[in-house]
Amino acid sequence: MPMTLKSSRQIELLREAGSLVRATFELLREHIRPGITTAELDAIAEEFICSHGAEPVYKGYVPAGRRGWAKIPPFPGTICASVNDVICHGIPNKKDRLRQGDIIGVDIGLRLNGWIGDACETFPVGEVDDATQHLLTTAHRCLELGIAQAQLGNTLGDIGAAIQRHAEAEGFSVVREYTGHGLGRNLHEEPTVLHYGDPGTGRKLIEGMVFTIEPMINAGKADTRLDRDGWTVRTADGKRSAQFEHTLAITTEGTLLLTE
Between 42 and 128, whose beta carbon lies closer to Co ion? 42
Question: What is the size of the binding site for Co ion (CB under 5 A)?
Answer: 2
Q: How far is the CB of 77 from ligand MF3 (least distance, A)?
A: 8
d(CA 151, CA 204): 9
* CA-based end-to-end distance of the chain: 25
Considering only CA atoms, which of 26, 125, 25 is closest in space to residue 78?
Answer: 25
Between 134 and 176, whose beta carbon lies closer to ligand MF3? 176
Sequence-separated (6 or more) residues with CB below 8 Å from residue 153:
204, 205
* Ranges within 211-230 binding Co ion (CB under 5 A): 212
Q: Which residues bind ligand MF3 (CB under 6 A)?
A: 58, 61, 75, 80, 89, 107, 109, 118, 120, 181, 187, 214, 245
Do the annotations mark residue 195 as ligand-binding? no
Q: How far is the CB of 181 from Co ion (least distance, A)?
A: 6
Between 128 and 256, whose beta carbon lies closer to Co ion? 256
Q: How far is the CB of 118 from ligand MF3 (least distance, A)?
A: 5
Q: How far is the CB of 225 from Co ion (least distance, A)?
A: 20
Considering only CA atoms, which of 243, 210, 219, 259 is closest in space to residue 143?
Answer: 243
Between 182 and 197, whose beta carbon lies closer to Co ion? 182
Between 48 and 244, whose beta carbon lies closer to ligand MF3? 244
Do the annotations mark residue 214 as ligand-binding? yes
* Ranges within 40-69 binding Co ion (CB under 5 A): none
Cα 84 to its chain centre, rounded Å, is: 15
3-state helix/strand/coil string of 140-152: HHHHHHHHHHCCC
What per-residue string of b and e applies to 100-133 under the rule 16 or more CB within 10 Å gives b? eebbbbbbbbbbbeebbbbbbbbbbbeebeeebe
CA angle, residues 69, 87, 240, in degrees to nearest 5: 150
Q: Is 118 in the site for Co ion (CB under 5 A)?
A: yes
Phi, psi (deg, nearest 5) at residue 154: -75, 175
Do the annotations mark residue 89 as ligand-binding? yes
Q: How far is the CB of 33 from Co ion (least distance, A)?
A: 26
Binding site feature residues for substrate: 89, 188
Binding site feature residues for a divalent metal cation: 107, 118, 181, 214, 245
Q: Which residues form the interface with Co ion (CB under 5 A)? A: 118, 212
